Structure 1
Amino acid sequence: MEDEKDQLSSLPDAILIEILSLLPMKSAATTSVLSHRWRHLWTGVTRVVIDARLESTAIIDHSLHKLTSRKLHMFVLNLNNFSDNPNPRASVSWFREVHSRNVENITFTVPRGGKCFYFIPSFLFNSQSLVTLNLHGLFRWPKFEDLRFHLPNLKKLVIDYLDDIPLWLEILIKFSSLLEYLDLVFHLDSYSDLSTSVVKIIPPNLKSLSISMEFYTPSLMLRTRVSIDAPKLANLRIDDCISIYCFLQNPTKLVKTCIDLKNNGDWSYCEEDEDEDEDMVDEENLGLLQKEYTHQMTKFVGGLSSVSNLKLKQEFHTNIFRHCSSANLPIFSNLSRLETECPMDLLFSLHCFPNLEHLVVCLWPQTLPTLDFSMEQSDWLQPDSIPDCLASKLKTIQLSGIQGTGDSLRVLAYILSHANVLEKLCIDFRRPNFIYEHKEAYVVWKECQFCRSLFKLPRRSSTCEVVVSGCYVTASGNTLQDGYLTCRMYVGK
């Protein structure tokens, strides 16, 4: 014990500062009470993380003003739970402090709601050192004429919450030549003049792109057009049911893509009009607009043909498969995994994916009430030829939204009788929000009957496991007996 030394204090200041840089700013500053030597060590940190839940504007000002490091690797400021009276212009002085210290990575989070808009200074878009910029929340942006863009080392840009499509956005992206990761979230008012809005995304080194557009009252009359030219794009995510997208040249290096064309709000096609003639004109115009949208988005999805992993969510108005003929369906030669949520002609569409190995299909969203029993499998027809993926590639299939009708059994019979290498087939009954006059006992009986019929179907793959999940019945089995499946069935809530 007498020979024991303070190993931590024996370290040089440079290493101690590196250790303190791994702590939140408040924790690093409290080490100043340890000794005279530690009093000012925290001011040299290169990583500043401030959670302003219990802080005040004065404390943040003081902490940043005390910094002595000439190089900041990271600046993280979270004002979501700011307890002090907010001063929107205080952010300008904070950005000036970190900007003067050649900050590399900035993450700034402010509340989305409320009346306070924190200001983003124009000099933030003129930085030689900035590598990543993450802005989350409601901000007051500088005037377009005040901006000078020079971000030669910016590789990652995240802007979460834009209430319009600013003129400077396209220029910012254009002048960020090294940009690899771009994430944009829009919350737009459909009553704004967005009918001629065009967004061009053309960074030559972009590898990951994410765009989300939410409309308070979505309208087919107001569309934003987004043009993408990113030859190195590998990951793409789009959550937008209104805008029209196009590739200036189809990306050839796409690996993973998620396209969500479902509307999560209330459609507002056009305002009500007392004049019936004008209503008829509006309906004709809307029909033409919808036709153009479907045509353009079919071309856009077809441009994703090099992707290997695709998640595609559609609904009636945005379902491109319903508007395609066998002659113009896009072919996805590299696709090995597909997740899709839409009413679709499943067997017919499989011809588009010759090398598909894993398929996940939700034919109807589980949240919808079961109103249209007659529509459920009305489009399922036996194809003229066996899809290549079904004959030699498909290993796993997950189907949800199954009603358990005769059409369902015919489709499942076709799959089981032609899937040579299928390893697992999972079937999930659609779970209705309410069952109308159907008694619980009737539902149990219906599900049991469906399971018995399903497991009597012959199958091509001798190792295929079939798993069924219903409202009350669960069944599974992969044992072959006399050419048919045997199963175990459980009944219960």
Structure 2
Amino acid sequence: MESDLISNLPDEILGKILSLAPTKEAASTSVLSRRWRNLLGLIDSLCFDESVVVYPNEEEEATRCSHLFFDFVDKTFALLSKTPTINKLSLSHIPRRGRDDDFSRVNRWIWTALERGLTELHLHATPRDHGLGFYLSRELFTSNTLVKLTLSGEYRLQVNRVFLPALKSLSLLSNLLDGPNYGLLLDGCPVLEDLLITETHPWALPCCALYVESAPLRRLVIIAKLSDIQATHVFLKAPSLEFLDYSAFVTNEYDFVDLDRLVEARLDLMLFDSSVYDEHVYYYDSDNDCYYDDGRPEGVSAANITGLVAGISNVTTLHLSPESLELFHLCCESMPAFNNLLTLSIESDESQGWQAMPILLESCPNLHTLVIKGLVHRVTSRCGDACPCSPDEHKNKKRRIVKEDEEICCLSTCQVKVLEISEYGGSFQELKQMKHFLEKLECLETVKVCVDADANNNSGEFLRANLLSLPRLSSKCNIVFI
């Protein structure tokens, strides 16, 4: 008979293993043997998820099953009455209308875990009924041990005082928080380093994503996609911030101040009415014998990201989504100097243009690495000399004429040594763009190209051969495929 290696492990090790599993599954191991019956009391991580319960269609049965879930959590905490330490509690449940005792039971579970040194707490409430919020007890926000806190879904706060002296990580995921309670929560976290805010609730007003002021904050992620609600002012002040990931619809005014320590920024900016790009008109300038687009689409002028761009100008690494790159042109009144920028990463999309590329590259005198995901972009006459594109000849009766005495190409003065291209498909437009890069970037030393995974082996070899045959201005330039 083969030995049971798992059962031979010490009880303390088995307790750690059970702590990694959902608590319901960990509890089910008690039927294995007499020894396993008492191992549940050794776990220090609890995970309760009511969403894994498959409810019948009938409301009475759903209510009954929910009642069984709450009873199960009660019994589990009773079994853990002698457990000295609970490190982590994760609770996802469905509040029931008219059941006020649910509030007291949940608050009691949290308080019990806090009394045993809880360091990590994740709470999520998903109601069956629209607008049914779940309120937390005021006493829960004076913990001396809590290091990580996540509030998600319908959890609401009504607090008079918040003091979480050990809290370093806070995640507010689509919460129904108002300004005063959010302000108290943020002010009561004196060592907070990591803040994640998502506001995607269809019936929630923007709050947390509009105002962030925290002296110790080092990492901030904001995802605010409330497309039917337009804010007018966004304020961010975080003198210790090192990383910013900002994804939101653009607004009228940004105050991004005291971000001198910011090292990396990721921007995914969006317009409220993306349809302004659908119709783009070109006109012919007979004096200069060239075509230009019609400038800013109607409705874009109200958005102004100048304060945002100026606030992040000290970064060394900048990532831009396709629409963010175009909004640098449409909604930024002046481009600051990015003197510290070493790595610029952009994504391209056939519906978004590169109009901001010339002035952006000229504003990065020390740029070392340029990373581009996809080379196909919307063709406009304002991409300048960052690309060789011209407006579609079928839409324009005359092609744009580039005169020899025009300004020096922005790529010719660029100090980029490493160029990384991903999702390269080898189309005529992409090959033309690569040729333009290789002929203009005189400091280029390494070109890394990742060929589109959809290309088969034969076409992949053909794409590689085409790229290797292109002329290069820099004698040090080496093309590698990854």
Q: Distance in 1 between matches of 2:330 and 2:131?
A: 46
- For the residue of structure 2 that corresponds to 1:168, the secondary structure is helix
2:318 counterpart of 1:310: yes
Aligned to 2:65: none
Q: Structure 1 residue 215: deviation in Å?
A: 1.8
- For the residue of structure 1 that corresponds to 2:198, the secondary structure is strand
Q: Distance in 1 between matches of 2:5 and 2:409?
A: 78
Q: Distance in 2 between matches of 1:316 and 1:5?
A: 57
2:217 counterpart of 1:210: no
Q: Distance in 2 between matches of 1:197 and 1:161?
A: 10
Equivalent residues in 2 for 1:334-413 (5 A)? 334-341=341-348, 342-345=352-355, 346-354=357-365, 355-360=367-372, 373=392, 383-384=407-408, 387=411, 390-391=414-415, 393-397=417-421, 409=432, 412-413=435-436
Q: Structure 1 residue 161: deviation in Å?
A: 0.9
Aligned to 1:151: 164
Instruction: Say if 1:66 and 1:373 are closer, same or farther in 2 by CA, change over 3 A.
Output: farther
Q: Structure 1 residue 150: deviation in Å?
A: 1.6
Instruction: Say if 1:287 and 1:322 are closer, same or farther in 2 by CA, change over 3 A.
Output: closer
Aligned to 1:77: 91
Instruction: Say if 1:176 and 1:10 are closer, same or farther in 2 by CA, change over 3 A.
Output: closer
2:242 counterpart of 1:231: no
Aligned to 2:130: 115
2:143 counterpart of 1:130: no
2:109 counterpart of 1:93: no
Aligned to 1:51: 49
Q: Could you say what the CA RMSD is over the residues aligned between the two structures, in angstroms?
A: 4.8
Normalised to the residue count of structure 1, the TM-score between the two structures is 0.66
Q: Structure 1 residue 121: deviation in Å?
A: 0.9
Q: Is the 8 A contact 1:420 1:461 kept in 2?
A: yes
Aligned to 2:307: 299
Instruction: Say if 1:30 and 1:408 are closer, same or farther in 2 by CA, change over 3 A.
Output: closer
Q: Distance in 2 between matches of 1:5 and 1:141?
A: 48
| Matched residues, number | 411
- The aligned amino acid for 1:350 is L
Equivalent residues in 2 for 1:124-203 (5 A)? 124-136=140-152, 138-143=153-158, 146-162=159-175, 165-187=178-200, 199-203=210-214
Q: Structure 1 residue 453: deviation in Å?
A: 10
Q: Structure 1 residue 86: deviation in Å?
A: 10
Q: Write out per-residue CA displacement over residues 249-294 of structure 1, whole angstroms, 9 at most, x where no aligned residue.
A: 1232x333211112477679xxxxxxxxxxxxxxxxx999955642
Instruction: Say if 1:116 and 1:451 are closer, same or farther in 2 by CA, change over 3 A.
Output: same
Q: Distance in 1 between matches of 2:413 and 2:218?
A: 29
Q: Structure 1 residue 411: deviation in Å?
A: 8.8
Q: Is the 8 A contact 2:421 2:449 kept in 1?
A: yes
Q: Structure 1 residue 315: deviation in Å?
A: 3.7
Q: Is the 8 A contact 2:195 2:217 kept in 1?
A: yes
Q: Distance in 2 between matches of 1:310 and 1:379?
A: 33
Q: Distance in 1 between matches of 2:328 and 2:425?
A: 19
- The aligned amino acid for 2:130 is K
Pick from 249, 252, 263 the counterpart of residue 258 of structure 2: 249
Q: Distance in 2 between matches of 1:364 and 1:179?
A: 41
- For the residue of structure 1 that corresponds to 2:225, the secondary structure is strand
Aligned to 1:105: 120
- The aligned amino acid for 2:441 is H
Q: Structure 1 residue 106: deviation in Å?
A: 1.2
Aligned to 1:433: none
Instruction: Say if 1:71 and 1:414 are closer, same or farther in 2 by CA, change over 3 A.
Output: closer
Q: Distance in 1 between matches of 2:332 and 2:400?
A: 17
Q: Distance in 2 between matches of 1:230 and 1:390?
A: 32
Q: Is the 8 A contact 1:423 1:465 kept in 2?
A: yes
Q: Distance in 2 between matches of 1:351 and 1:323?
A: 18
Q: Write out per-residue CA displacement over residues 416-475 of structure 1, whole angstroms, 9 at most, x where no aligned residue.
A: 24333243275999xxxxxxxxxxxxxxxxxx9x999998863213575779xxxxxxxx
- The aligned amino acid for 1:421 is L
Q: Structure 1 residue 224: deviation in Å?
A: 4.5
Instruction: Say if 1:242 and 1:116 are closer, same or farther in 2 by CA, change over 3 A.
Output: same
Instruction: Say if 1:328 and 1:109 are closer, same or farther in 2 by CA, change over 3 A.
Output: closer
Instruction: Say if 1:208 and 1:165 are closer, same or farther in 2 by CA, change over 3 A.
Output: same
- The aligned amino acid for 2:40 is W
Q: Structure 1 residue 58: deviation in Å?
A: 1.8
- For the residue of structure 1 that corresponds to 2:249, the secondary structure is coil
Q: Is the 8 A contact 1:262 1:314 kept in 2?
A: no
Normalised to the residue count of structure 2, the TM-score between the two structures is 0.68
Q: Structure 1 residue 72: deviation in Å?
A: 1.2
Q: Distance in 1 between matches of 2:30 and 2:423?
A: 61
Instruction: Say if 1:464 and 1:248 are closer, same or farther in 2 by CA, change over 3 A.
Output: closer
Identity of aligned residues (%): 21
Instruction: Say if 1:71 and 1:389 are closer, same or farther in 2 by CA, change over 3 A.
Output: farther
Q: Distance in 2 between matches of 1:402 and 1:241?
A: 33
Q: Distance in 1 between matches of 2:110 and 2:332?
A: 54
Instruction: Say if 1:197 and 1:418 are closer, same or farther in 2 by CA, change over 3 A.
Output: closer
Q: Is the 8 A contact 2:315 2:338 kept in 1?
A: no
Q: Structure 1 residue 236: deviation in Å?
A: 0.8
Q: Structure 1 residue 31: deviation in Å?
A: 3.7
Q: Is the 8 A contact 1:364 1:401 kept in 2?
A: no
Structure 2, unpaired ranges of 5+: 54-67, 277-295, 379-390, 453-461
Instruction: Say if 1:223 and 1:6 are closer, same or farther in 2 by CA, change over 3 A.
Output: closer
- For the residue of structure 1 that corresponds to 2:113, the secondary structure is coil
Q: Distance in 2 between matches of 1:174 and 1:209?
A: 16
- For the residue of structure 2 that corresponds to 1:42, the secondary structure is helix
Q: Is the 8 A contact 1:108 1:134 kept in 2?
A: yes
Structure 1, unpaired ranges of 5+: 269-285, 367-371, 430-447, 468-475, 477-493
Q: Distance in 2 between matches of 1:202 and 1:311?
A: 23
Q: Distance in 2 between matches of 1:329 and 1:199?
A: 23
Instruction: Say if 1:385 and 1:75 are closer, same or farther in 2 by CA, change over 3 A.
Output: same
Q: Distance in 2 between matches of 1:386 and 1:257?
A: 23
Q: Write out per-residue CA displacement over residues 221-242 of structure 1, whole angstroms, 9 at most, x where no aligned residue.
A: x424332222221211111123
Q: Distance in 1 between matches of 2:434 and 2:402?
A: 7
Instruction: Say if 1:235 and 1:6 are closer, same or farther in 2 by CA, change over 3 A.
Output: closer
Q: Structure 1 residue 70: deviation in Å?
A: 3.7
- The aligned amino acid for 2:108 is R
Q: Structure 1 residue 188: deviation in Å?
A: 5.7
Q: Is the 8 A contact 1:390 1:415 kept in 2?
A: no
